[in-house]
Amino acid sequence: MAGHELTAVTMPKWGMSMTTGQVVGWLEEDGARVEKGAEIVEIETEKTVNVLEAVESGILVRTIAQAGDKLPVGALLGVIAQNSPGNEAIEAFIEKFQQDFTTRDNNDASDNQPLDITLADNITIAYQYLPAGQDGDNLPIILLHGFGGDRNSWLFNSAELNSGVYALDLPGHGGSSKKVGDGSLAFLAHIVSEFMTALDLPKAHIVGHSLGASVALSLAHSFPAKVAALTLLSGLGTGTEVNRQYIEGFLAANRRKTLKPWMQQLFFNADMVSRDMVEEVLKAKRIEGAEACLGKIAAAAVLAPAEPNPAPDLAQLTMPLQVIWGRQDRIAPPDQTRDLPDGITVTIIEKAGHMVHMEAAKRVNKLIRDFSARTGS
């Protein structure tokens, strides 16, 4: 049986809390030839819908799970074969898999439990660390989420970057302290710098989304030695042109029904916003002090009047820098990337909104991986 090189396609685990997923439908039919990395099956989690990629090239010899099936993480969805092993071998493989399969306890030790570290002034930063895989020997990557988000917004990215990945919750967000100083980018960047020092990370590839991109840029200006490379998603720093209505609407909403329409504006495909995704954001906003912190950051770092031309700011930077944007971004329009200085790679991704790293995870992951490799960071 081993000689036939059969590979199980299993229910993925996207993000900490995922225990089951629902099969939306196969994108490839039984018997189709699939390449490693090809999108083969659509899976809906409590949070959103995403596409599972083939882990091996081969023939999709069995699609076992049916559209609508809700299955635990690790459950068998289908089988990919290198050769033509024959029905008997495939059936034996499936039988053996099902015999051995036990639902994984979501709380087992292999899970990446959230970590936290306390910095000066008793500011605690919650973060998640994923060690580099076997073929990843790059510098670490630090992921900085956007306004009102947290580390979970990287659930489709963290594990796919071939580097040690630190996804942290910015102050005032997620599980981090509800202390944001004056709410300025300088303060937030200072905290990221302190975080790197505390974890003994002299240098990293900083990937920032939206507000996180602004923090990343501030860090690059103030602590250039710590930034090996910069990937900016849907944001260009202080000069970014931002949809004020969104920021104000998001801040004011404290119920599912009022928040959801705003969150849908973040995506090209509004169906990406599940009830659970909204609930997670609400849970974070409900924590005492969170809304006050967000208000402070909004005033000081997001809505603060600035010249809507970030180009000169970017031109001063010496480290490699790339910009990624969703074409249908309704929060920060993509045309503001037009007049950036030479030498900055700009990728505009079609059919993606502000949350480009969720909606086009595969594309974005590859851009980040390649950038890490190309820049030697």
- Which is closer to other proteins, CB of 193 or CB of 274? 274
* Whole-angstrom distance, CA of residue 61 vs CA of residue 86: 10
Binding mask 147-186 for other proteins (x = CB under 8 A): ----------------------------x--x--------
- Which is closer to other proteins, CB of 180 or CB of 228? 180
- Which is closer to other proteins, CB of 123 or CB of 227? 123
- Which is closer to other proteins, CB of 78 or CB of 175? 175
User: Shortest Cβ distance from residue 10 to other proteins (Å)?
Assistant: 18
User: Shortest Cβ distance from residue 206 to other proteins (Å)?
Assistant: 26
CB atoms within 10 A of CB 162: 20
| Residue type at 87 in one-letter notation | N
Does residue 256 come out as left (phi exceeding 0), alpha (psi in the -120 to 50 range) or beta? alpha
129 in Cβ contact with 113 (< 8 Å): no
Site for other proteins in 59-98 (CB under 8 A): 68, 70
User: Shortest Cβ distance from residue 289 to other proteins (Å)?
Assistant: 7
Site for other proteins in 272-331 (CB under 8 A): 274-276, 279, 283, 286-289
User: Shortest Cβ distance from residue 360 to other proteins (Å)?
Assistant: 25
Helix spans in 68-184 (H):
87-100
186 in Cβ contact with 123 (< 8 Å): no
DSSP helix/strand/coil, 16: coil
* Whole-angstrom distance, CA of residue 276 vs CA of residue 175: 17
- Which is closer to other proteins, CB of 122 or CB of 134? 122
* Count, residues near other proteins per rule CB under 8 A: 19
Residue 124 token pair: 């605690």
Site for other proteins in 19-48 (CB under 8 A): 46
- Which is closer to other proteins, CB of 39 or CB of 46? 46
Angle between the N-to-C axes of helices 290-297 and 275-286, in degrees from 0 to 180, rounded to the nearest 10 = 90
83 in Cβ contact with 55 (< 8 Å): no
The dihedral through the CA atoms of 290, 222, 127, 259 has a sign that is positive
Binding mask 110-149 for other proteins (x = CB under 8 A): ----x-----------------------------------
- Which is closer to other proteins, CB of 93 or CB of 127? 127
The dihedral through the CA atoms of 8, 10, 16, 17 has a sign that is negative
* Whole-angstrom distance, CA of residue 163 vs CA of residue 365: 11
Binding mask 249-268 for other proteins (x = CB under 8 A): -----xxxx-----------
Q: Which residues of this chain interact with other proteins, rule CB under 8 A?
A: 46, 68, 70, 114, 175, 178, 254-257, 274-276, 279, 283, 286-289
